[in-house]
Structure 1
Amino acid sequence: MPKQIFVFHDKHKRRFARITTKLSIVICLINILGLFLLFCLYKAVQFDSPDQLNTKVEIEKAINKISTNNKDIIEVGGEGILVGINIDSDYYEIERFASLNNKEIILTFDDGPQPVYTEKILDILKKENVKAIFFVVGENVLKYPDIVRRIIKEGHQIGVHTFTHTKEDEGLNQNKLQTMLEIDAAQKIIEAETGYKTRLFRIPYWGVENTISLNSLILSVNALSRGYTIVSSTIDSNDWRYSDPDLVIKSAFNPLEGQVILMHDGGGDRTSTIKALPYIISLYKDNFYNFRLIDGELAGNLQELLKPISLKEKIISKAAKVSLLIFAYINKFLRIFFIFGIGIFAVNGVIYLSLILSKTFKRNKLSKLKPFVSVIIPAYNEEYSIAKTVNSVINSKYPRFEAIVIDNNSKDATGRIILNMRRRLKIKNLRLFKEKIQGKYAALNKGIKVAKGRIVLIIDADTQVLPNTIQKMVAAFSDKKIGAVGGNIKVGNIKNLISAFQAIEYIVGLNLDRRAYSNLGAIPVVPGALGAWRKTAATKAGGFLNDTLTEDAEMTVRIQKLGYKTVFAPDAVAYTEAPDNIRNFVRQRFRWTFGTLQVLYKHRESYFKKDKGMLFLLILPFLIFLQLPFMLLAPFVDIIAIATLFINYKLVVTFFLYFLAIHMLFNIIAFILAKEKRIWLLLIIPLSRFYYQPVWYFILYKSIVAILKGEIYPWNKLNHVGSVIVESNN
C-alpha cells in the first residue's frame, strides 16, 4: 500500500504564517476602527453648561441633594415652560422657569418620527402655516431620517427625547452608561442624519406634573450639565389616553396665558391627534393666539438652539451612527440567529424522530445465519483494562467466534496477561498477535489479515461487551448490502460532571442522530469502540489508513463509496471508559474533531453525488455546510448574548429557555429510546450549556488552528485504568 499523506499537512509550514499575518493585520485594523467608533459613540455632546454642574462629582451631588427617599416623588418648584436647577449654597432644587407672553402658544410633538402620523401632522401644519417643536426618539430617527430632514426643512424645531424613550423603571441610577447613550446617542443620530445639532431636550414620561421620578431627575441633571434647554409642557392634550378626538380637543384647549401643548406623533395610534389637530389650531387662532417656537432669548441663551454642525462633529456623528447600526444589526442578527438556530434544531430533531419512528416500532428481519465472527481487540499498554475486556468477550453467548488481541508494541504487561489468561483458563478461541508498525490502523489491519471470521467485530481494549452484544451486532447484517454496523456505546465510568456529560452525549447522539442516519443506511461513523465489518468489504476498501486521526470514520466513509450501507444496532450494547478529567477529554475530543474535519475534507469531491449514497448526497453536506458553521458561530453568539444581557436580558433569557425546553424534550426522547435507567442524568443537562459547551468551543477552535498550522499530530492514546462498571439487567 502506498504511503498515505496526512490530511492538512503543510510540509513547508507556510500556511499558518501566511494566514496569521493577514489575520493579525485584519484584527489590528478592526480594533483600531472599533476603538474609534466607540470613542465617537461615547464622546459626550457638550454645549455651554452651568458652572455648578461641570464635573461628574457635582452632577452626582445635585442628584443626591434633590432626590428623596421616595424615588417616584421628587417635587418640582417654580412655574414656566423650561426646566433648570436652582443652586443656592448647599441648597439644590429642580424648578420650572421662563414664561411665554400672553396669547402665545407652542405646539410640541413627542415620540416620533413615525411614517404615517408625523407626515400627516406636517401636512396639517404646512396648510395652517404653523410651526412646532418635534421631540424625536433617536431609534426612530435612525429608521426614518427623511422625515426628520423634512421637519427641519419646513422650518420646525427638533429636540432630543432620548435614544430609546427610556422607561421609567430603567434604573438609570445603576447604569450611568445607559444615561449617556440616551442623551448623546440621540443627539448624534440627529446630527448624522440632518447636519444640525439641537439644544432642546424633553424628558420622557414627564408631562405637566409637579413631581417627577428619579429617572427623570437623572436625565434632567445630566442634560442640563451638557448645556441643553429642557422644555416642559403646561397643557397635556391626553392624546396618548383618548381615542376620541373631541376629548383631545377639550384637553388641549385652555385659553389662559402662554402655554406649551404636549401632543404625540409616535408611540402608538395617533389617529385622534391627526383628527383633533386642525380644530385645536383653529380654536387658538380664533382666540388670537400666536404660534411660536423657542428662541435663544426665551431660553436665556444667545446661541442658536438649532444650528449646522462642524466638520469634526459630522465625522463623530457619522461614526457614532455606524456604531449604533452595528449594535442594531448585531441585535437583529442575534434574534434571527436564535430563531433560526432554534428552528433548525427543532426541525432537525423532528426529521430525526420521523426517520427513527418510521422503523423503530417495526420488527426487524433478523439474520438466521450464525457466521463465524472474529473479535479484534487492538491494545497498546492496556494492562489495567485488557483482562476485563477479554473476559467480557469470552463470556459471550454467541456460539461461533474467536477473540484476537493485537499487541501494538506495548511496553507493559498487556501481552503477558493475555498469554496467562489463555494458558490458565484454557481459552482456545483467544489468540494473540503482535504488530511492530506503531499505530492503531496497523493493529487493525493485522487483525483483519489474521481473522478467520466473515464478520470482524472491533472493540477497544477498554470496552466491555454484554453476553448478547456479538449476537445483536451480527443480526444487523440482515442485508448483503450492509458493510458495517455500529454498536450502542455507553459510558461505564461516571464519577464526575465531565464523565456524566459524556454519558448524556453518548445516549443522545447514538439514539437520535445515529438511529436516524441508520434508517438511511448511512451512519457517518462505525466507532472503533464497538463496530462490526464484513471482512470482504473491509478488504475491498483497502483496510484502515493512517492519513487521518479517525481511522474508523474514514473507513466508514470509504466503504460507502463502494456502495455498502452502514447501520446502527441499538440493542448491541457495550460500555467504554470515558475521560474523567478536562485534560484527557480535550485530548480525546481534539483527535475526534480534527480527524472528522480531515475526513470531511478528504472526501469533499463526492459531496452531492447521488451514486455515492445518502451519506454524500445529504448527511455530510449537512454536517459541513450547516452544522459546522453554526458551531463556529456559536461562541461569538454566546459572547454577544452575554453583552445583550445588559441591554435586553429578556430577549436572551427567553430564547435560552425556548432552546432549553426543546433540548430537554429531545434528550428525554433519546433516554426513552435508549431505555436508559440512569435518568438522574437529565437533571444536569441545563448545566452542560455553561460547563460542557464552552470546552467544546475550545476544542473546535483548537482543531481549526491545528489545520492552519498543518503539522502531523499523533494519535495521542489515553491511559485507561479499567474503571468501567457494566450495568446489570442489560
Structure 2
Amino acid sequence: MALSEQGRHALRHPPRWHWLLLLLILPIVAVSLLFEGWTTHEVDGARTRRACTSPIPRSADNGAPVLRVTGAGAETVQMPLRTAALTFDGGPDPVWTPRILDLLRARHAHATFFLYGTQAARHPDLVRRIHDEGHEIGSYTYTGGDLGSASAVRSQLELSLTQTALAGAASVNTRLLRLPHTTTADTMCGGEWSAARRASDDGYLLVAATARSRKPPLGVVRQYSHSALGYQEATKLLDDPEVGRFTTVTSGLGRPSLTAPASLLQRLQGNALIWTQSLGHRFARSMTWALGIAGGLGILRLVLLACLARVHVRRQRRHRSGAPWLREVNDPVTVLVPAHNEEAGVEATLRSLLASTHRDLQIIVIDDGSTDRTAEIARGVGDPRVTVVQQPNSGKPGALGTGLSYARCDIIVMIDADTVFEPDALHRLIQPLADPTIGAVSGNTKVGNRSRLLGRWQHLEYVLGFNLDRRMFEVLECMPTVPGAIGAFRRDALTAIGGISDDTLAEDTDLTMALWRVGRRVVYEERAVAWTEVPSTFSQLWRQRYRWCYGTLQSMWKHRHAVFEVGPAGRFGRRGLTYLALFQIVLPLFAPVVDVFALYGVCFGDTGQAVGVWLAFLAVQLVTAAYALRLDHERLRDLWALPLQLFVYRQLLYLVVIQSVVTALLGTRLKWHRMHRSGTANQHLLREPAPQPSGLASK
C-alpha cells in the first residue's frame, strides 16, 4: 500500500461500512461480557438465600431424599438397604472432577453428578467423560442461584440454560435436579418449596440428601462437593464395609435413567451457548490483561511526560542562565502565510506579526485560490513588509512551496493564517537556530477560543498532550511534528529534503520527519507563544483530526525505514515512530472495547475497586495536567473540564483513529479538509488579554 500517493487524490464519500462493523462488534462484546458477568456470579440477584417462612408439607418431611412434588404434598422414596448413592454438587472442576472420576473407576462405583450449567459449558470434555464412564448427570442450575428467591423468569432460565449446556457438552438432557443451597429435604422450605413445585411441574425429580444421622447399612444419598474435602469424604464412604452397592440415584431406586439423548436442535443450541460463554470468558480474561497493560502504559506515559518535562525545564534554565544557545539570532526572517478563505482571521495574524519585536521581516501571504476577501484584506494592511501572492487553489503544500520560491531570507517561519503571535514570539522562536545542527524549531501553540466547553477540552489537550509531549520529544530527540501554526526552519534544511512535499495530508509532520532523516535536529521553544483558533463544533473537530491522524499515518508509513537507520534518523525512528504507533494508534484502536470492559468491571466486578482505579488514574492525569498548565503559565481553573473530557472528547478522538486506520488499510484516497474560521480566537484575545509568559516555572 503506497500511502504516499493518497494525499494527491480525493474521494467524495469515504467508506462507512466499518462503522456498521464496529456497531456490530461492540454489542456482541457487551452481550458476551454481560453473560459472563451473570454466569460467574459477579452480580447475582439470587445468590443469597432467603430465610424460610414456612416448613415443607408433612408428606415430604419424612427424611426421604428423593421426591416429586404433587399439589400440596409430595411422593418420596428412600434408597434400599446397603445401597449408597454418591452425589457430587457443582462442577465440573478441572482439578478435582478428574480425580473423583479416577477414584470411582478404581472402585468400580458409579455416582450422580449435579452440574452447574455454566461449568458444563466451560468444561464440556469433563461432562462427556462423566457420561461416557456410565455416571448419571443431574442439574444444579446454571449459576447456582437460589431458585427460592429468584423470579419465575430467572428460575426458568437457570433450568433451561443448564439443559442447553448439557446438550452442547455431552448431547444429553436430564430430569434430575438438586436445588442449590439445600441439603436434606426439610431444607427445601419457604420459597424453595415453591421452586421445587414448579420444577416438578416441568418433569424434574428432586434429589436431596440423607441426614448424616442415617448411616449404612441403611440406604443413603450422600452429598459431596467437587473439592478436596468431597474427595476425602467419598473415599471414606467407599471404604465402608457396611455398604454393598455404590450406584446412581435412579439405578439405586430401580428406575429408568432420567438422562436422555438431546435432539439435533438442542445440540446446536448448546454448541452456540458454549461458544458464546467461551467467547465472553476468554474475552474477559484477555481484557483483564489488556486493561492492566493499557492502564500501566497510560500511567507510565504520564509519569514519563512529567519527569522529562522537568528535565527539559532544567536544561532550558541552564541554557538561559549562561549564553542563550550559542548567540543571539537577529537574522532577517521570511514568514510564509498560506491562506484559503481566511478573511476572518488573516488581518489579526498579519498585524500580530508586524507588531513583533523582531523587525527584519518579509511576510508572504499566499492566497491559495480564495473566493472571499482574503487577498484584499491582506493588501489592505498597507505595510511594505507584506507581499501578497495569488495562485489557483493547489493545497497547503503547494502554497508553501510557492511562498518558499519568493523567500529572500535563510530563516523561514511557516504559520497558519489564523495564528496570532505574541510580540516576542518570532524572536524567541528563531533563537535555537543559532545551533547549526538544528534544522527546525516548534513554537508553543495555545488555544484562543476556549470560552466554550469544546474549546476548553482542546485547550487542555494542547497543554497536556501537544506541548508536554514536545518537551519529552526534545529530550528524547524524536520530535515528530513542528506544528503548522508556528514553526521556524533553516532554508538549507528545507532544500536538503527537497522542499515541501504534498505526499501526505499532514505536510508539517512529513516535513519534520524528513528533517530527521537528513540528520537535522528539531527542538521546542516553549516561550514562543502563538494563539490559534480551534474547531468550535464536533463536526469541524472530526474533519480536522481525521486529516491530522490520517496524514500522520501516511507520514509514518513514508518514513518507516527510519527505524533501521543510524544517527539522528535512527533515534527518531526507534523512539518517535514507536511512541506514535503505540500511544496514538494501537491503544486508541482498543480504547472502545477497553471502555466497555471498564463498564463491565463497574457493573459486574468489584465496583468499589473499579471506581477506585479509575479515580486513581484520573488523579494522576489531574496532577500531570496541573503541572503542564503551570509550565505553560496557564490558569489551573480549567482542570474542572478534564474529567468530562474522558467521557466525550476522548471517545471522539478514538473513533477518529479507527476511521483513519481503516481508511488507510483500504487504500482510500482522502481529500484535504479545511476548517471553517470564524475569527473567534482573535475576538477572545481582544476581550481578555492572554497571560504573558515571564520565564520558566520553578518546578
What is the TM-score normalised by the length of structure 1?
0.77
Amino acid in the other structure paired with 1:331: A
Residue in 1 aligned with 2:41?
none
Residue in 2 aligned with 1:393?
353
Residue in 2 aligned with 1:58?
none
Do residues 720 (structure 1) and 694 (structure 2) align?
no
Do residues 377 (structure 1) and 333 (structure 2) align?
no
CA distance in 2, matches of 1:348, 1:162: 47
Do residues 228 (structure 1) and 201 (structure 2) align?
no
Q: Of 381, 396, 402, which aligns to 1:440?
A: 396
Residue in 1 aligned with 2:660?
703
CA distances 1:582-627 after superposition (whole Å, capped 9, x unpaired): 1211221222122222222333344433353322233224433674
CA distances 1:108-151 after superposition (whole Å, capped 9, x unpaired): 22123334443444455455554332222344445555544444
CA distance in 1, matches of 2:194, 2:374: 75
CA distances 1:12-31 after superposition (whole Å, capped 9, x unpaired): x9x999x98xx99x98xx99
Residue in 1 aligned with 2:381?
421
* Secondary structure in structure 1 of the residue aligned to 2:338: strand
CA distance in 2, matches of 1:458, 1:214: 81
Residue in 1 aligned with 2:151?
173
CA distances 1:476-534 after superposition (whole Å, capped 9, x unpaired): 33532211111221211123322222112111212432222221222111111111111
Residue in 2 aligned with 1:619?
576
CA distances 1:549-602 after superposition (whole Å, capped 9, x unpaired): 221111112222211121222232222111111121122122212222222233
Query: Conserved in 1, the CA contact under 8 Å of 2:414 and 2:485?
Result: yes
* Secondary structure in structure 2 of the residue aligned to 1:519: helix
Q: 1:186 to 1:404 in 2, by over 3 A?
A: same
Do residues 548 (structure 1) and 548 (structure 2) align?
no
Query: Conserved in 2, the CA contact under 8 Å of 1:99 and 1:258?
Result: no
Amino acid in the other structure paired with 2:6: V
Amino acid in the other structure paired with 2:226: D
CA distance in 1, matches of 2:146, 2:311: 52
Amino acid in the other structure paired with 1:264: S
Amino acid in the other structure paired with 1:369: E
Residue in 1 aligned with 2:526?
570
Residue in 2 aligned with 1:197?
173
Query: Conserved in 1, the CA contact under 8 Å of 2:6 and 2:669?
Result: no
* Secondary structure in structure 2 of the residue aligned to 1:728: coil
CA distance in 2, matches of 1:692, 1:184: 44
Do residues 157 (structure 1) and 157 (structure 2) align?
no
State the structure with bigger RCO (CA 8 A, min sep 6), 1 or 2.
Answer: 2
Query: Conserved in 2, the CA contact under 8 Å of 1:342 and 1:659?
Result: no
Which structure 2 residues correspond to residues 106-255 of structure 1 after superposition, within 5 A?
106-126=85-105, 129-142=108-121, 144-166=123-145, 172-173=150-151, 176=153, 182-208=158-184, 210=186, 220=196, 223-224=199-200, 226-235=202-211
Amino acid in the other structure paired with 1:666: Q
Residue in 2 aligned with 1:462?
418
Query: Conserved in 1, the CA contact under 8 Å of 2:440 and 2:523?
Result: yes
Do residues 522 (structure 1) and 522 (structure 2) align?
no
Query: Conserved in 1, the CA contact under 8 Å of 2:345 and 2:679?
Result: yes
Which structure 2 residues correspond to residues 279-358 of structure 1 after superposition, within 5 A?
279-281=236-238, 285-286=241-242, 291-295=246-250, 304-358=257-311
Q: 1:567 to 1:721 in 2, by over 3 A?
A: same
CA distance in 2, matches of 1:711, 1:215: 66
Residue in 1 aligned with 2:455?
499
CA distance in 2, matches of 1:498, 1:6: 33
| C-alpha displacement of 1:709 | 6.7
| C-alpha displacement of 1:324 | 2.2
Q: Of 596, 609, 616, which aligns to 1:661?
A: 616
Q: Of 40, 47, 56, which aligns to 1:77?
A: 56
| C-alpha displacement of 1:202 | 1.9
* Secondary structure in structure 1 of the residue aligned to 2:138: strand
* Residues 129-138 or 218-227, more deviating: 218-227
CA distance in 1, matches of 2:495, 2:188: 84
CA distance in 2, matches of 1:703, 1:344: 23
CA distance in 1, matches of 2:189, 2:605: 24
Do residues 411 (structure 1) and 410 (structure 2) align?
no
CA distance in 2, matches of 1:281, 1:716: 82
Which structure 2 residues correspond to residues 589-608 of structure 1 after superposition, within 5 A?
589-608=545-564
Query: Conserved in 2, the CA contact under 8 Å of 1:377 and 1:405?
Result: yes
Q: 1:162 to 1:359 in 2, by over 3 A?
A: same
* Secondary structure in structure 1 of the residue aligned to 2:249: coil
Unaligned stretches of 5+ residues in structure 1: 43-66, 88-92, 236-250
Q: 1:97 to 1:692 in 2, by over 3 A?
A: farther
Query: Conserved in 2, the CA contact under 8 Å of 1:507 and 1:671?
Result: no
Query: Conserved in 2, the CA contact under 8 Å of 1:296 and 1:305?
Result: no
Q: 1:670 to 1:488 in 2, by over 3 A?
A: farther
| C-alpha displacement of 1:465 | 1.8
* Secondary structure in structure 1 of the residue aligned to 2:445: strand
CA distance in 1, matches of 2:264, 2:147: 36
Residue in 1 aligned with 2:6?
7
Amino acid in the other structure paired with 2:426: I
* Residues 139-148 or 568-577, more deviating: 139-148
Query: Conserved in 2, the CA contact under 8 Å of 1:608 and 1:621?
Result: no
Amino acid in the other structure paired with 1:98: T
CA distance in 2, matches of 1:664, 1:308: 58
Q: 1:491 to 1:115 in 2, by over 3 A?
A: same
CA distance in 1, matches of 2:238, 2:213: 10
Amino acid in the other structure paired with 1:699: V
Do residues 449 (structure 1) and 408 (structure 2) align?
no
* Secondary structure in structure 2 of the residue aligned to 1:723: helix
Residue in 1 aligned with 2:43?
none
CA distance in 1, matches of 2:263, 2:465: 61
CA distance in 1, matches of 2:132, 2:160: 23
CA distances 1:394-445 after superposition (whole Å, capped 9, x unpaired): 33333544443333343333333333333xxxx5544444344542223322
Query: Conserved in 1, the CA contact under 8 Å of 2:87 and 2:224?
Result: yes
Do residues 474 (structure 1) and 434 (structure 2) align?
no
Query: Conserved in 2, the CA contact under 8 Å of 1:398 and 1:471?
Result: yes
What is the TM-score normalised by the length of structure 2?
0.80
CA distance in 2, matches of 1:495, 1:452: 40
| C-alpha displacement of 1:100 | 0.2
Aligned length: 651
Amino acid in the other structure paired with 1:173: S
